[in-house]
Amino acid sequence: MEFGKNFYWGTATAAYQIEGGRNEDGKGESIWDVYSHRDGAIARGENGDHACDHYHRMSEDVDLMKGLGVNAYRFSLAWSRILPEGTGRLNTKGADFYNRLIDKLLENGITPFLTLYHWDLPQTLQNRGGFLNPEMADWFEEYAERVKELYGDRVKNFMTINEPQCVLGCGYRLGVHAPGIKVSLKEQLSALHNLLKSHGKAARVLKTIKGAEVGYASCGYTYAPASEKKEDIEAAYERTFAFEGENPLGTISSFAEPIFLGKYPKEYYEYGEELLPKITEEDMKLISTPLDFFALNIYEGKKVYRKADGGIGEVEPKPGSPKTQMGWEITPENMYWGPKFLYKRYGKKVYITENGVSLADYVFSDGKIHDTYRTEYLRTYLKELRRAANDGETKIAGYFHWSLMDNFEWAEGYKQRFGLIYVDFETFERLPKDSYYEYAKIVRENGKNL
């Protein structure tokens, strides 16, 4: 048993987390450039000014991808590197960096999967309200048009926005990510609608590229059944797509239902006119612009069962159950049930666009990084994904390991290492870990011997 003939094996990164080059070649400031310098915002007072220095070491990094044998790479563009003010003037030097990256990928047989927005909004646009401003949809549309003009001749796989749950939930509700603000529920719902319209406008633009496939990358908990009983499976499916009135920005359904089904979850409308933004039929038509796939970032999930009274009960993790350095549960079974449920509900092929584990990696006395836990994590999660790919019902199109290399992990700074490649953040030396070679073997065998 293995993955399909045309399966995409890849790795993933994000611009702010790896590029560095904060003020180089005409790049404008992003919200993360500003937020990461705010006192107390980032662990140990760190920032992404240099990150992994990918801006200067891109060619070396693509060579490392080639060594992995992957046939795909998911990366994001730094919006403010291309359009320093967010709109208007094009920064040719910044745009050319991505031209060189794309060309280098293609030369090495690696298919580019391009994410327009992975959290680093130009600060000039945040000064005008960011996602609280209805004009955001027009700004994002202009940006998408530029991306089409610059890269649409070579790039055919696009994601509009990465993890909208985190864009708004962490950035506008909890204030723990850039721009680091906390707004009212009414404003949260307005930002949600503006983000969805932004996605819709960008999707319309990208869909006009010949041969293009377009989606967005979601996160949010998936739920696995406590047993194979029909009632538990139904409970897990129901819970995966449940809308949470107290946390409307955190669930899969808040974004996926309007995008794929053309309407918000029914509970959303119960907020009433005082809280809800104005929503038109034209808005929903725009938001539900047809997409080609569902992209899911999955690290951990939860397990549930059907209670005797018909409700849904959550299974608590066993005492002493393993957790990652991020404090996340290790739940490989969700890599089977999550994609299975998503395909059943939305009928779109599924990409796992992020999956990985943060560990306390360090260089051993033999000069190597022996990350045994990561190789075990990788194999157990992929075994469950392979199970979904072979169930006769679910279409799994690709897997992108997070991350290619250790990087700036947002509010966690550099203390969380997710990479297949170890990075010395003083010298920027790259050193493949044991998991790099293990993943290369899995890719080579198309997941046959997990």
Whether 323 contacts 370, CB under 8 Å: no
The number of beta carbons lying within 10 Å of the beta carbon of residue 254 is 27
In the residue annotation, 354 being an active-site residue is answered as yes
Catalytic choice (46, 354, 409, 438): 354
Q: Rounded CA gap, 410 and 177, in Å?
A: 7
| Phi-psi category of residue 51: left, alpha or beta, with phi > 0 → left and psi -120 to 50 → alpha | left
pLDDT of residue 189: 98
Q: Rounded CA gap, 164 and 14, in Å?
A: 14
Q: What is the DSSP letter of 412?
A: G
Burial bucket for residue 115 (CB in 10 Å: 0-12, 13-18, 19+) = buried
pLDDT of residue 1: 85
Q: Rounded CA gap, 306 and 167, in Å?
A: 32
Q: Rounded CA gap, 431 and 395, in Å?
A: 35
* Inter-CA distances, 228 with 224, 234, 305, 314, 390, Å: 10, 10, 10, 15, 17
In the residue annotation, 24 being an active-site residue is answered as no
Q: What is the DSSP letter of 277?
A: P
Q: pLDDT by residue for the chain (450 residues), tens digit each? A: 899 999 999 999 999 999 999 999 999 999 999 999 999 999 999 999 999 999 999 999 999 999 999 999 999 999 999 999 999 999 999 999 999 999 999 999 999 999 999 999 999 999 999 999 999 999 999 999 999 999 999 999 999 999 999 999 999 999 999 999 999 999 999 999 999 999 999 999 999 999 999 999 999 999 999 999 999 999 999 999 999 999 999 999 999 999 999 999 999 999 999 999 999 999 999 999 999 999 999 999 999 999 999 999 999 999 999 999 999 999 999 999 999 999 999 999 999 999 999 999 999 999 999 999 999 999 999 999 999 999 999 999 999 999 999 999 999 999 999 999 999 999 999 999 999 999 999 999 999 999
Catalytic choice (29, 141, 163, 409): 163
The closest alpha carbon to 311, from 244, 247, 235, 253, belongs to 235
Whether 164 contacts 255, CB under 8 Å: yes
Angle formed by the axes of helices 334-346 and 230-240, nearest 10°: 70
* Inter-CA distances, 348 with 163, 207, 261, 390, 397, Å: 18, 16, 12, 16, 10
Residues 6+ apart with CB under 8 A from 160: 115, 116, 117, 140, 144, 198, 199, 202, 203, 206, 214, 215, 216
H or E element that contains 437: helix 434-444
Torsion, Cα 438 440 446 449, to 10 degrees, reads: -20
pLDDT of residue 240: 98
Whether 376 contacts 391, CB under 8 Å: no
Tokens of 241: 């797509």
Burial bucket for residue 393 (CB in 10 Å: 0-12, 13-18, 19+) = exposed
H or E element that contains 44: none
* Inter-CA distances, 358 with 321, 362, 406, 414, Å: 16, 12, 9, 11
pLDDT of residue 293: 98
Q: Rounded CA gap, 138 and 423, in Å?
A: 38
Torsion, Cα 417 421 423 429, to 10 degrees, reads: 170
Q: Rounded CA gap, 257 and 448, in Å?
A: 35
Q: How many residues does the chain have?
A: 450
φ and ψ at residue 275, rounded to 5 degrees: -105, -30
User: Does the N-terminal peptide bond of residue 84 adopt cis geometry, omega within 30 degrees of 0?
Assistant: no
Residue by residue, DSSP assigns 194-225 as HHHHHHHHHHHHHTTSTT-EEEEEE-S--EEE
Q: Rounded CA gap, 136 and 128, in Å?
A: 9
Q: Rounded CA gap, 352 and 218, in Å?
A: 10
Q: Rounded CA gap, 341 and 233, in Å?
A: 10
Report residue 353 CA to chain centroid gap: 6
